[in-house]
Amino acid sequence: MRRTHETISKAPIINAEFTVTRKRALTGIKPTGIPHVANYIGAIRPALALTEEYDSFYFIADYHALTVIKDPAELRSLTYEVAAAWLAMGLDPQKSTIYRQSDLPETFELNWLLSCVTPKGQMNRAHAYKAAVADAEAQGKTDVDAGINMGLYGYPVLMAADILLFSSDVVPVGKDQSQHVEATRDIAQKFNGTYGPVLKVPELLLSPTAASIAGSDGRKMSKSYGNTLPLFAESAPLHKLIRRYVTDSSGPHDPKDPETSGLFQIYREIADPADTRLVHKALSAGEMTWGELKETVFETLDAFLAEPRERYRELMADKSKINRILVEGADKARPDAIELLARVREAVGRVEIRS
Ligand code: TRP
């Protein structure tokens, strides 16, 4: 079953010349881990599907990653890996815009201007910060802010700057990011309430599958559980990881419930619907063993990933090509950012002393 985002409004905007202006979708990708199959199904594929309907912006949120990544070599390699992953999975720089957050200095000036209208209390209530505080409390720390940097605390403001800089109409994200988009809306409204209607208040476009893909141990597939299927693993390690999936104890000829199987969830997302129905039926009727399911899933996934794996390998062997794509994307995006920032600067009362 292929599910895409819940669409808030599909109507294109028709301007006075009767040319169709597409709405803009923008999403950020934090380079904190190499993408896995659940990232693809839950985030990459639905986000890329939006290029059909929206003027789409994708960016590598490298400065957001700095709240957790302190090793420069790691940030460098993750920036390449994540950009290469999205490109390999089908992001077309001709049909959309891909850039690196840190190539747009306007983002960071807007971040400051927004932080001056953002209530501190709202940041106190942000999930990531609250989770870090709860962690410290659980460890019995007396200073619950110990180890929490200002980057983590102000993370939602930087995200608002990313979004508002491009007057995005919609922001496609998984459920874990919906609070951040709500914060962006609040911050935009706060700014507009103070200075007049300068910022476009974006809509949240919730990606529905994000949380539901299980990893090899049955828990949600996540880098932190070490239970993932990396998107660009070679065939042999991929095979091994799939064989390692836990299954229930039903015997070879017992009826099995496909809905409880993580591997079936994955299969359903990548196989064609007729094959999915056959496998569903065979499992339910006790005519397919878990071992056979594993082989089927491996073959399907391996074939599906063969070309992307090749493209990924080529890109990673030519990092200057990745650089070029990101720089060209930033060059393409930047005029809009400069224009928006000029309006924001003027709105807050900055005097343009050079003009
Ligand atoms: N916070 C997002 C994440 O962790 C990444 C992100 C940064 C983002 N800026 C954004 C997403 C702007 C959407 C819009 O996944």
Give the pLDDT confidence of 21-58 residue by residue, as tens digits: 899 999 999 999 989 999 999 889 999 999 999 999 99
Choose the residue to mutate in 29, 180, 184 for probing ligand 1, maximizing ligand atoms within 8 Å of C-beta. Answer: 180
Q: In terms of DSSP H, where are the helices of the chain?
A: 37-39, 45-49, 62-65, 72-88, 106-115, 120-124, 127-138, 150-153, 155-164, 178-195, 235-243, 262-270, 273-284, 290-316, 319-348
- For residue 32, the ligand 1 atom closest to its alpha carbon is 4
- CB-based contacts of 80, cutoff 8 Å, min separation 6: 316, 319, 322
- For residue 180, the ligand 1 atom closest to its alpha carbon is 1
Ligand 1 first shell, C-beta below 6 A: 26-28, 30, 61, 64, 159, 162-163, 171, 173, 177, 180
> Cα(87) to centroid of ligand 1, in Å?
18
pLDDT, residue 12, reads 53
Alpha carbon distance 243, 291 (integer Å): 8
**Contact by Cβ (8 Å): 28, 162:** yes
Beta strands 13-14 and 170-173 are unpaired
Which residues face 14 on adjacent strands? Answer: 20
pLDDT, residue 209, reads 59
CA dihedral 226, 229, 235, 240 (to 10 degrees): 50
Output the residue whose Cα is nearest ligand 1's atom 7: 28
> Cα(159) to centroid of ligand 1, in Å?
6
Q: 3-class DSSP state for residue 205?
A: strand
Output the residue whose Cα is nearest ligand 1's atom 11: 28
Choose the residue to mutate in 69, 155, 159, 184 for probing ligand 1, maximizing ligand atoms within 8 Å of C-beta. Answer: 159
Choose the residue to mutate in 66, 177, 184 for probing ligand 1, maximizing ligand atoms within 8 Å of C-beta. Answer: 177
pLDDT, residue 5, reads 59
Output the residue whose Cα is nearest ligand 1's atom 5: 28
Predicted structure pTM score: 0.91
Which residues face 172 on adjacent strands? Answer: 205
Alpha carbon distance 343, 332 (integer Å): 19
Alpha carbon distance 351, 349 (integer Å): 6
Cα 292 off chain centre by:
33
Residue 27: both structure tokens together: 């999403």
Give the pLDDT confidence of 201-211 residue by residue, as tens digits: 999 999 875 55
Classify 218 in phi/psi space as left (phi over 0), alpha (psi -120 to 50) or beta.
Answer: left
Rounded mean pLDDT for each run of 10 residues along the chain, 355 residues in total: 50 51 95 93 92 96 97 98 98 97 98 98 95 93 92 97 98 92 98 98 84 87 93 97 94 94 95 97 97 98 98 98 98 98 98 84
CA distances from 242 to 39, 232, 283, 300, 321 (A): 17, 14, 17, 12, 33
